[in-house]
A and B are shown apart, each in its own frame.
Chain A
């Protein structure tokens, strides 16, 4: 993964062009099933694009997902709004409180959000056909079928290769609390990012809240999004941190001095569910989009952009293992829903923000 500036140039150029050309690059269209055809015919009568509140990937990639969706289902349009999970959820609640649904589909990295919406009867129950084609571990996250895996985010250790040697980088989570990382470490905040939120649940479960008190002693730089770590590491502002390996790999591919360590005791997996809002005016388009998130096309876009495909029949990103083969761990949705709200408050007490 380690790259010098020089070797980074060519791939960086290629990747940038690829990003722009993505919709065209998305390969062979899979055939529509009769059920999808039926949905498509109904969806064509629903006017206007559907709005997707999303906490995954980034705005640009979300747009290319939308373009691919339009390509597969001509005439249908998707308008993604990418923010951090907590901001997306806040806006969603604001919409609901005002009685004006803005979003048709919601994808969050904090599964607790879905539990809440489900309990308030704000979700439309729909199980996509494609659910059965997903990697087994991420199927049926909601036994009642209200929400479904739309993305799998990973959390690993990231570092700046121009500042640190691979040998100095810890191989597992507890190594991050080493005093030598004082003024060197960075991560996001559970008060914005759902991914970071799940990370706090997992770390507290394994190592106790003390883990975060130790981190605080290191004067970390705390961003908002989980992806802030990538920005901060790229700039050289900090040298080590916790972040999303997909984002890091994309960034390294652009030429940034970044590398990933998958912790020996397991990489944290954050299942990010998607659901349809009950008040949607475009139920058929929304259902079709949920189908799309289980499609080969979507998983291929993920893999091309160093994200982990949701389907077993799509190859993992270059040089990576498939989800099925990785050492992963994930707190249960119940545990996340139960502990994350308290963790946010604890976080403020520990870190001051």
Chain B
């Protein structure tokens, strides 16, 4: 009797949340792992799938290429990001606002859209850059986008913001006193950068690099539009090929397992790096900071930033704009070639209207489901209401190490067939997206909860409010910004997610990202560019709403 009276709903919530997490995270990945050891049809244990997956030279090359690709992108991203973040955080460089805004632009651009812009820019013969090069009499091709270099550059242009965010954040927190201490001992400002400042932010650079690496090797869209014509095999493309007729799902699973192991190892390294003492020591208030006067280097530094911005945003967007407003993009600029018809087509055709509607409703639903689940689990874990809270945390963060395309394969394998038979429903997409972006929502909700003094809630409890009342009346209103922020941070990537969608969409549940890929397949760059602009426009609108509600830095910050 007493026990019943004292029963807290939290235990029930815990059980339900765990079941949902098992459903979303454990089952698809376990199925993948198990099937990689299963003989097709008979189901007997075997290693032959692994042999099959890696004995072929081309598939092995795909694996190696992906690693080279990942490392290359990290390298180029660092070259872009570190000087820019230093210039913005620490110097009196002009035009910081413009540079920041442009980096945000690069951040919200779907990588495959940027890649298509770059095809228009740096196609070996017809790309604007190469045409300009030929026009001034340059020999050969200046830059061929259809190459490993092209793939690396184009990917780095849209992933360097990650390293920028991490590094700028760390630079903001390194006390200038550390630098002044070296200065007073006789070290010159240039040496201070390399001897004091950079070593201090190295862990942040490394942490950002690992995210970029993971993101790159899991990328599907950019390789699909660039590596395919370049005839480079890449792991994610190879995974896709396993699903061509005849479908070899078990081999695909075997091929994906090492990819997951690599990402797990990487995340482990990142944990190690962030856990190190050196990083903690630089947390502190960076009050009263002194900006480094760049003197005559002010404008060259700004020039460098502007170059990166141009490569990432201005040039490819200009190329896309030309296509979006053209009858035929090969015809170049002329008033006769100008048309709004590509945009008109997007909205006049029922199918593309449906696709646009799908995209935004699925993303919005994903935002709600992911944030609700993340909030519940983060709350239960943070308030230590249940044993094994760290298990729940691990489950919520696990999708971080699973590339979207692999997750989608697992989802397809488990939930497409009966009894759930979710294939063809919007639900399977929303659940897939939810799983994919759960770590973002979870990390944000957790950060919000951690910043909330538990006494706020206890005050409500002791005055007679149940936990539900306390959460509804106190926790939720106080976390309002945090929750809206989490929702946006899930909504934005969900609205352009390609690699998860590619296996889970069906005729009636297509989304913009898949339509863009299909359009690129047919070379319909005009409508594609229009669609891309529309997607970007909506994203920018949402980001602006986010700015109004949550402050300027809500996207470009570490979380």
Contact = CB atoms under 8 A, between A and B. Distances in A.
| Genuine A/B complex | yes
Interface of A: 5, 9, 12-13, 16, 20, 51, 53, 58-60, 63, 79-84, 86-87, 89-91, 93-95, 97-100, 102-103, 113, 116, 183, 189, 191-192, 221-225, 227-228, 230-232, 234-238, 251, 254-257, 341, 348-349, 351-353
B421 A231 contact: no
B139 interface: no
B123 A348 contact: no
A97 B416 contact: yes
B229 interface: yes
A227 B243 CA distance: 23
A97 B247 contact: yes
Contact of A98 (B341, B421, B508): B421
B523 A89 contact: no
A98 B241 CA distance: 19
Contact of B58 (A183, A224, A348): A348
A353 B228 contact: yes
Given A9-B336, A86-B244, A224-B228, A235 B424 contact: no
B330 A94 contact: no
Interface in B81-139: 123-127, 131
A256 B330 contact: yes
Contacts of B506: 91, 95, 100, 102
Nearest to A12: B327
A98 B423 contact: yes
Interface string B333-353: 010110101001100110100
B329 interface: yes
A180 to B, nearest CB: 15
Nearest to A64: B349
A98 B417 contact: yes
Contacts of A222: 228-229, 231
Given A100-B421, A191-B244, A353-B228, A224 B521 contact: yes
Interface size class for chain B? 35 or more
B251 interface: no
B522 A227 contact: yes
A254 B328 contact: yes
B233 interface: yes
Given A235-B329, A236-B126, A102 B232 contact: no
Contact of A235 (B126, B336, B337): B126
Given A223-B229, A235-B126, A236-B125, A16 B339 contact: yes
25 contacts: A5-B334, A13-B336, A20-B341, A59-B518, A60-B345, A87-B518, A94-B247, A99-B417, A100-B421, A103-B507, A189-B228, A221-B229, A224-B228, A224-B521, A225-B523, A227-B522, A234-B329, A234-B330, A235-B329, A236-B126, A236-B131, A237-B124, A237-B126, A255-B327, A348-B58
A-B pairs with the 7 shortest C-beta distances?
A231-B523, A98-B416, A234-B330, A98-B423, A235-B126, A237-B126, A353-B231
A8 to B, nearest CB: 8
B125 A237 contact: yes
B503 interface: yes
A59 B412 CA distance: 26
B331 interface: yes
A83 to B, nearest CB: 5
B43 interface: no
Nearest to A193: B521
Contacts of A251: 328
Contacts of B337: 255
B521 A87 contact: yes
**Residue among B58, B126, B334, B418 with most chain A CB within 10 A:** B126
Contacts of B131: 236
Nearest to B348: A20
B67 interface: no
Interface in B296-336: 327-331, 334, 336
Contacts of B162: none
Contacts of A99: 417-418, 421, 423
